[in-house]
Amino acid sequence: MAEEPGGPRFVIVGAGMAGILSAIKLQEAGLDDFVIYEKADRLGGTWRENTYPGVACDVPSHLYSYSFAPNPGWSHVFSPGGEILRYFEDVAARFGVDRRIRYGTEICGMEFRDGRWHVETSTGEHDAADYVIAATGVLHHPAYPDIEGLDDFAGALFHSARWDHDVDLAGKRVGIIGTGSTAVQIVCSIVEEVAELALFQRTAQWVLPVPNPEIPPDVQDQYRADPVLMASVRDDLSRTFSDNFANAVVDAESEQVKQIQAMCLANLEGNVTDPDLREKLRPDYRAACKRLVVAPDFYQKVQHPSARVVTDHIVRVEPGGVRTDDGVLHELDVLVLATGFRVDRFMRPIDVRGRDGTSLEDVWAQRPSAYLAISIPEFPNLFMLNGPNGPVGNFSLIEVAELQFAYIMKLVDAARRAGARSVSATHAAAERFEAERTEAAARTVWVTGCRSWYLDDRGVPAAWPWTFDRFREVMAAPRLEDFELSGS
C-alpha cells in the first residue's frame, strides 16, 4: 500500500513531555500529517497527574527542559511540578502543536494491517497511519500495595499520583506508606501543617542533600538576554549529570558512586540527632542501588515533633488506621499510598497487534523488551520514547527522548530513501541487544543488594546498563543492518 499523498501520517500516543516533543519535531521536519491522541483533558503527562504537595523535579530545571525551548524564567534550581506543567503547556502553544491534540480520546487498540497502523479509540473512532509513536511514559500506572483491608479504611485514602485535593490536611493525622522520592517530597511539604504524620518505611533510603535555591530575577534576566549563556548552562548540567551520575551508576565500583555514598552518609550522621531514629533511617545497601532520593531537608523535616517513622511491618489497614506487627494501631484520618508505579506496563492496556496479528501482550508476556528501547520485532513502524530498558534514573528523560526521537527520524528517513514502507528491528538485533544488556547489567550499582523498581521479575535491571555517553553514541545513527526494511 502506498503512502498517502503528502507524506506519511503519524499517530502520537500521549500528550506528555515525549508526545509534545514528537509533534514539534515532526512539524519541524515538514512531516505535518500527524495527530496526538490524549486520553485526559489536559496535556502534561506525569506533571498533570502528579499534583501531590511538594511535587517537583529533582533534575535541575535548566536540564529538565527541551534543548530547543530553554526557559530563562525557571523560579528554582529544581522547580515545582505546577511550573513544569505550565512550561509544557506554554511550549505546546508556542510551537502550535496544542491544537493537534485530540483530548479525551484514549487509544484502545491498534493493528498493523496492509502496511499501515489501524487505530481504534475509546470514542469509537478509527484512524490509519504509517507510523505510530508511543509516548506513553514510564511512571504512569499507579502501583497499589497488596495490603489487607485497604478498602476498609474509614478516612480518606488515595495514591500519591491521584491526590485528592478536596481533603484538607490541616490538623489531621496523616499516614504515608512508602519512602521513595514521592513520599519524601510529601513529608517535607506537609509535616508542619498536619497534626501527626506517620511515615511507614519498609526500606530506608539514602538521601542526597542538594539545596534548592530560588533563581533570582536578575539571573533570570541575564538568561533572557543571553541565549548562548542559557545553552551553556544546560550543556554544563548535562555534562555534570552524565559524568557524576549516569556514567557512574553503571559501574558499582566507580569513585563517583563511593562519593555519593559518602555525601549521603554524612547527611545522615550529621543531621539526625536521635541515635534510634538514625539507625532506623540507615540503609543497609549501597547508595544509588535504589533510585537516589534528592532532598535538601528530609532529615530535618522527619525530626519535626509531629512526625514519626514507623518501621514495624504493616499487618493490615483497619477502619481506624494502620495496624503494625507490634500490635499497635496507628490511628489516622488520611492514608496516602506513595507506593510507586507499575513500570512494566508502558503502552498497555492498548491492544497492540503487529505483523500477522502478533499480540504485544503475548510478546511481552514474560517482560517488556525492545531493541534499544525503541523498536520491537514484528511491530513495524511502531516506535517508543522512553520504552523498556532505556536510560532511567536520576537524569533528564527529556534528553533521553530527544536523542531517541532524532534516531527514529533518521531511521524513518533511511527507510523511505531505501524505498521501504516499513521498518522494525530484526529478531537477531533485539536478542543480541537483550543479551549484551543483561550481561552489562551485572556490573551496575542496581544489583548490589536492594529491591527497586529498576529490577525486573528476574532481578535484572530493566535499564540501560552502559554510560550515557554510549547512549548518545548509539543514538547518533541507526545501524540499518539491525532493521528489517520491507515493502517498496
CB-nearer residue toward ligand NAP: 56 or 384: 56
How far apart are alpha carbons 47 and 390 in whole angstroms?
21
Residue 180 or 377: which CB sits closer to ligand NAP? 180
Q: E strand or H helix at 352, and its extent?
A: strand 351-353
Asked if 198 touches ligand NAP (CB under 6 A), the answer is no
Minimum CB distance to ligand NAP smaller for 314 or for 350: 314
Phi-psi region of 438 (alpha: psi -120 to 50; beta: other; left: phi over 0): alpha
Chosen residue from 21, 139, 250, 272 binding ligand NAP by CB under 6 A: 139
Q: Per CB under 6 A, which region of 87-95, 188-196, 334-342, 427-435 contacts ligand NAP?
A: 334-342
User: Under the criterion CB under 6 A, does residue 178 sit at the interface with ligand NAP?
Assistant: yes
Contact letters (x/-) for ligand NAP, 268-307, by CB under 6 A?
A: -----------------------x----------------
Nearest approach in angstroms of CB 121 to ligand NAP is: 29
SS3 at position 217: helix
Is residue 314 at the binding interface for ligand NAP, with CB under 6 A as the rule? yes
- Answer for the pair 441, 461: CB distance below 8 angstroms, yes or no: yes
Lookup: cell for 270: 550529621
Instruction: Map residues 435-454 to x or -, x wherever contact with ligand NAP holds by CB under 6 A.
Output: ----------------x-x-
Nearer to ligand NAP, 446 or 483 (CB): 446
Q: Which of 51, 203, 212, 448 binds ligand NAP (CB under 6 A)?
A: 203
Choice from 63, 174, 183, 188 touching ligand NAP (CB under 6 A)? 183
Considering only the stretches 101-109, 178-186, 347-355, 418-426, report the one whose residues sit in contact with ligand NAP under the rule CB under 6 A: 178-186
> Which of these ranges, 12-20, 116-124, 174-182, 234-242, lies near ligand NAP under the rule CB under 6 A?
174-182
**Between the CA of residue 426 and those of 175, 314, 367, 438, what are the distances in Å?**
49, 47, 18, 18
State the residue for C-alpha cell 490538623.
171
Contact stretch for ligand NAP (CB under 6 A) within 22-30, 171-179, 266-274, 422-430? 171-179
Judged by beta carbon, residue 255 or residue 284, the one nearer ligand NAP is 284
Minimum gap (Å) between residue 230 Cβ and ligand NAP: 22
- Nearby residues of 340 by Cβ (< 8 Å), 6 or more positions away: 139, 142, 143, 178, 180, 182, 453
Report CA-CA distances (Å) from 175 to 77, 83, 85, 153: 29, 27, 27, 12
Binders in 44-83 for ligand NAP, by CB under 6 A: 56-59
Options 202, 258, 280, 342; binder of ligand NAP; rule CB under 6 A = 202
Q: Tell me, what DSSP letter sits at residue 480? A: G
Cell numbers linked to 97 = 502543536
Residue 10 phi, psi dihedral angles, 5° rounding: -120, 135
Q: What number of residues does the chain have? A: 488
Residue 100 CB neighbour total at 10 angstroms: 19
Whether 238 contacts 245, CB under 8 Å: no
224 in contact with ligand NAP (CB under 6 A): no
Is 35 or 147 the residue whose CB approaches ligand NAP more closely?
147
Considering the rule CB under 6 A, would residue 102 count as an interface residue with ligand NAP? no
Nearer to ligand NAP, 58 or 378 (CB): 58
Q: Which three cell numbers stand for residue 206?
A: 539514602
* Residue 399: CB minimum distance to ligand NAP, A: 14
Cβ proximity of 131 and 150 under 8 Å: no
Nearer to ligand NAP, 139 or 187 (CB): 139
Binding-site member from 182, 242, 424, 467 for ligand NAP (CB under 6 A):
182
The only residue of 179, 247, 369, 422 in contact with ligand NAP, by rule CB under 6 A: 179
Cell 511538594, located at residue = 54
Residue among 10, 1, 36 nearest 130 (CA): 10
Binding-site member from 45, 209, 321, 340 for ligand NAP (CB under 6 A) = 340
Which residues contact residue 155 at a Cβ distance below 8 angstroms, ignoring those fewer than 6 apart? 321, 332, 333, 334, 335
Distance CA 28, CA 95 (A): 9
Residue 432 neighbours by CB distance under 10 Å: 13
Asked whether the beta carbons of 410 and 477 are under 8 A apart, the reply is: yes
Binding site residues, ligand NAP, CB under 6 A: 56-59, 139, 145, 147, 160, 177-183, 185, 202-203, 291, 314, 338-341, 451, 453
